[in-house]
Structure 1
């Protein structure tokens, strides 16, 4: 039964705006508990991860890796014919996987009893929402509990000519029908690196423009250098400390004028990808009308329990800023679910934040890096092991990269780890579980792991001679 208040608004128990990896599961959980839940989604259920992020990109990266291994078959004593890539089939396979995941997310949501409205939501007052449906009709809703999970979108720099030249972002690139002859990528962050290596393996010429002095700025310099070397081996060209000035369209494609260490020059490519970060989807939502504050970058301000500055309104996932990872968004859901349904209080401040970049080799990290430990002036030991000394990596001829671990010199506890290597994300997960369980470096060194696995290399990592970092003394 549709209940209305004195203002004529339809009243719900919960309104969820955005059906991403936090909003969808939370709506399902609350609806299954008997609450009247309405979900408002502008584009598609599943959020960025399922539709434009993890699922499509990692599916394409898997195809690119097969092409890479096929070209390397002779290294393993296997002889094949000429390797070619059917890019249309790569895209069809990707689309099939996306549709499978999207349909599953939609079915899970609707089967819970939640109402799904496809349209755009805007606040008209505290916890009052006006929905403009896909057919143009409007519906006014109100609820004592509102959840925001609207995510983020690709950022477009204010660069002359950029939008006029038909440049692509990480979403529109996924819809390409033809393989780029020369893909120029503006931005050397994780998105640009994943796409750059994948398209190089598909057969495109790839040039990455990065304004900073090195790639992967949040990583230790030795890790970033090893990653760059691996991608260069796969055919990616990098131009560091280079600033894009303007873009223009030509009959042959796109021209990008850049300023670098060697002065101004013009790059010519068939396609231009903008990979310059993400912008939160908070504009034109009427947040001020609801008393919801955003920071200088447009991200919604929340406390450790995901509460916004407006009573009864919470924000989950990328829209609140912080680590923009699917697993963090999903954990946001669990934090709020447990608080609302089970009376369990947990904060976002006490959780680990692991991540994996799906380059090849994978780059995975959790906790402190060596650089961060040094900045904090902590007494630590740094253990490093090249993948070239890992038995499983040698056997599979996948020896690019290295492992690093940061260990407290007093307690022997693991404070952080980085794995750049074959299945680096899986090995990193073993180290994260060790951190969660308080397992010491000595216990990992003496642990019995099955041979020959990648995890067994943790014995060797902690058997090595560490670099000790001691706090600098403070003058009296």
Structure 2
């Protein structure tokens, strides 16, 4: 049994910086990774998808360049080149992260699969087949999540795609059917539509983007449909069948009616499930919920003292920045004696469609449900000077403010730079800056953020 001060299981966006921080603090530390350094973000998520989305945006701009007074005769989508560019960026990011880990004194990187044999003891099956036995005073689980495959009749008999496997397609699908309408579905859907695919999105729920205000969801749906994406709601894929290597037949159930759709590719984007299968958590006393997510307290400690869970494996919003903030909370509490908590932390997120949807804090409906006295500031992007100048006027800015305190409670920004504008409001919320202060602030002209002046003037109209 090899003894460590700390063991991190999973080299994702929480595990990597935590391992380095603990090792640099003098803790004898090991980080165990069964697959690839960098986790979902670098290998299967943020880095590759946003790289490919950038290529799709170029295709869209070229196709529509006459809007800006530029005429092009034709263009060609080179899918292998797009995939290679993505792979090059992913490999560079992954190798950089691995090198930093390997060069950290007091930190051992172990490639293998970890299984608990006791409360704080592990068996690690190495990639070459050998086994090691480790224990530590503190253990940190950062094993992330994986695509969830729904129980659709025939799904296991077809060549379906997930958010991981679709990244390696070297051809543009003729017609891609996407099951689900979350962030993965919408980003891939718009990307492949712009690269030349026919795209159909199927959502079983009654509402599109059900977690957003109705005006936000409706605007995003209209934007995607205007690009030619067909979106079904209140619809389930009840059965699929592989007719031949290039044709899949799907049966849709819509209000007790059925419709048959033929597609060349099917992407399953119905959510993710925690990667805990090989951990053998019943040996530890670590409790999970009914979906398998590890239960933690506000300081990210599990039901077993000294064992923590960070990132997607603990449930909640599955964003890289949440994982990284989990790391900050844990290391500051352990090494600096801080008392940080995940409770009531401000959550920003961004849907990287084009235009983007930047979201922050409370929605209008959430604010009303919590009993706030609110006012809504809303400004169409077509009234934003910078948007008119760049020719990208889709969307709007929306902010929710608390009347008594004049503080900003939340925002939704649909626009080309939606995530960046949202980040300006986030800093204001973090600093307790009121909407009145932003209304009269001096911003550089002409920028998108400058229109926060005009946005908050709407409150007084």
Q: Taking structure 2 as the reference length, what is the TM-score of the superposition?
A: 0.98
Deviations 1:36-69 (A, max 9, x none): 1111101111110000000000000000001111
Query: 2-side partners of 1:350 and 1:159: how far apart?
Result: 37
Aligned to 2:373: 379
Aligned to 2:156, the other structure's residue is in SS state coil
- Deviation, 1:260, is 1.0
Query: 2-side partners of 1:219 and 1:399: how far apart?
Result: 21
Aligned to 1:270: 264
Asked if 1:437 corresponds to 2:456, the answer is: no
Aligned to 2:293: 299
- Deviation, 1:34, is 2.0
- Deviation, 1:178, is 1.3
Asked if 1:343 corresponds to 2:337, the answer is: yes
2:81 to 62, 83, 89: 89
- Cα contact 1:29–1:112 (8 A) shared by 2: no
Query: 1-side partners of 2:160 and 2:173: how far apart?
Result: 12
Aligned to 1:404: 398
Asked if 1:205 corresponds to 2:198, the answer is: yes
- Cα contact 1:384–1:466 (8 A) shared by 2: no
Deviations 1:250-301 (A, max 9, x none): 1241111011148201111000000000100112311110111001110100
Aligned to 1:349, the other structure's residue is in SS state coil
Aligned to 1:93, the other structure's residue is in SS state helix
2:146 to 140, 143, 153: 153
- Deviation, 1:465, is 4.1
Asked if 1:217 corresponds to 2:202, the answer is: no
Deviations 1:132-182 (A, max 9, x none): 111221111011110100000010001111121110000000011211110
Aligned to 1:171: 164
Q: Taking structure 1 as the reference length, what is the TM-score of the superposition?
A: 0.95
2:65 to 73, 88, 97: 73
Gaps of 5+ in 1: 1-8, 468-476
Compared with structure 1, are the counterparts of its residues 466 and 192 closer, same or farther at alpha carbon in structure 2 (3 Å cutoff)?
farther
- Cα contact 2:375–2:459 (8 A) shared by 1: no
1:21 to 13, 21, 27: 13
Structure 2 matches for 1:41-80, cutoff 5 A?
A: 41-80=33-72
Asked if 1:320 corresponds to 2:291, the answer is: no
Query: 1-side partners of 2:183 and 2:135: how far apart?
Result: 40
Query: 2-side partners of 1:376 and 1:31: how far apart?
Result: 43
Query: 1-side partners of 2:412 and 2:459: how far apart?
Result: 17
- Deviation, 1:323, is 1.1
Deviations 1:300-340 (A, max 9, x none): 00001110111110111011111111011001111111122
Aligned to 2:444, the other structure's residue is in SS state coil
Query: 2-side partners of 1:36 and 1:230: how far apart?
Result: 52
- Deviation, 1:377, is 2.7
Aligned to 1:31: 23
Compared with structure 1, are the counterparts of its residues 399 and 429 closer, same or farther at alpha carbon in structure 2 (3 Å cutoff)?
same
- Cα contact 1:14–1:37 (8 A) shared by 2: yes
- Cα contact 1:190–1:216 (8 A) shared by 2: no
Query: 2-side partners of 1:329 and 1:422: how far apart?
Result: 26
Structure 2 matches for 1:396-475, cutoff 5 A?
A: 396-465=390-459
Query: 2-side partners of 1:237 and 1:262: how far apart?
Result: 20
Query: 2-side partners of 1:163 and 1:394: how far apart?
Result: 49
Aligned to 1:104: 96
Structure 2 matches for 1:126-145, cutoff 5 A?
A: 126-145=119-138
2:231 to 232, 238, 243: 238
Aligned to 2:116: 123
Aligned to 1:292, the other structure's residue is in SS state coil
1:182 to 175, 192, 198: 175
What stretches of structure 1 move > 2 A for 4+ residues in a row? none
Query: 1-side partners of 2:365 and 2:460: how far apart?
Result: 15
Gaps of 5+ in 2: none
- Cα contact 1:207–1:238 (8 A) shared by 2: yes
Aligned to 1:247: 240
Aligned-CA RMSD value: 1.1
Aligned to 2:326: 332
